[in-house]
Amino acid sequence: MEKEIRAIHIPAKLELRDGRRVISGYPIVYNKDSEDMGFVERIAPGAAKKALPRSDIRGLKNHDPSLIFARQGVNLEFKEDKEGLYYEATEIDTRTFKEVAEEVRLGLLTGQSFGFTILSDEWKGLDTDKPTRTITEIGQIFDVGPVTYPAYTDTSVALRSLEKAKAEDVPEFTPITITINEEVFDVNDKENIDNFIEEIRSGLKPTLPDPDNADDEPTLDKSPDKAKDILDRINQRLEKD
C-alpha cells in the first residue's frame, strides 16, 4: 500500500472553547464525488472507521512534518459519523499551532487534506472515459490538516491502480458466434477452440454445381477462400482476447 494524498475545498474552522482555540474540520467526506482526476473518486461511508485505531495521526499544515500542530492522543481527537471523519485539534503552547490557528482565522488556508493508504477499493466503468473508484476501506491515515492549495491532488498512485484494474478487467476469453451457411455456432470454451477450428477446416470444402440444374451456383460459403477467411477472423479474435 502506497501513501496517497487528497484535498477538499472546505476550509478548517477555528473557535474558542474554555479560553483555548480549537482547529476543526472534515478532511474526509463520505459519498462526495471528487473533481475529474482522469477518474472520479468517492469514499464510502465507514471507510475510515477501522483505520483510526491502527493509525498514529498527526496534524500537519500542507503535509509538512516540520509544521506539526497536533497529534492523535495528545491534542488531536477524531469522530467518525455519516458525514465523514471529523477532527478537533485543541491549542497547545507551540509556535506552529499558534501560526496555523491564525492562518485559519485569517482565511489564508482555504482547504483541507489528508494522507492515507487504501486497503480496498472498487472500480466501475473501466471501459468508459470516466471510470469511478469507490474507496471502501482506508488502511492507515498519516496526517490531516489545513492546506494552502486544496486544488493540488496527488493522483499518481491512484492512476497506477486504475491501470492495474483495467488490466485485470480484461476477460480471458470472449465467446464467439460464427454463422456458416445460415448455421450458427457458439464457441464458448477456449480450451476446445482448436477442435472447433479443425472441424471447420475439414468440413468446409467446395461444393460443385448440380449438373442437373445449370442455374445452380457453387456454394461460395464452403469455398477454400471462405474457409480461410473464417479461420483468419477466428485467429484474430483469439489474439485480441
Q: What residue ranges do the domains of the chain occupy? A: 4-169, 176-240
What is d(CA 89, CA 21) in angstroms, rounded to the nearest whole number? 9
Burial 48-74 (b: 16+ CB within 10 A, else e): beebbeebebbbbbbbeeebbbbbbee
Q: pLDDT, tens digit, for every residue of 186-239? A: 666 555 566 666 666 666 555 555 556 555 544 444 455 665 666 677 766 666
Cβ(32)–Cβ(24) under 8 Å?
Answer: no
Neighbours of 226 (CB within 10 A): 16
Return the H-helix or E-strand segment holding 181.
none
Parts of the chain with a pLDDT under 70: 151-155, 157-159, 161-162, 169-231, 235-241
DSSP 17: E
Count of beta carbons in the 10 Å neighbourhood of residue 140:
18
Q: What is the full DSSP assignment across 76-139?
A: EEEEE-SSEEEEEEE--S-HHHHHHHHHHHHT---EEEEEEEEEEEEEE-TTSSS-EEEEEEEE
Q: How far apart are CA 187 and CA 175, in angstroms?
A: 6
Residue from 22, 32, 23 nearest 6 by CA: 32
For residue 45 the three cell numbers come to: 461511508
pLDDT score at 220: 42
Question: At a CB cut-off of 8 Å and minimum separation 6, what does 40 contact?
Answer: 33, 34, 130, 131, 132, 133
**pLDDT recorded at residue 169:** 67
Cβ-based burial of 90 (10 A; exposed 0-12, middle 13-18, buried ≥19): middle
If you average pLDDT over every residue of the chain, what do you get?
Answer: 82
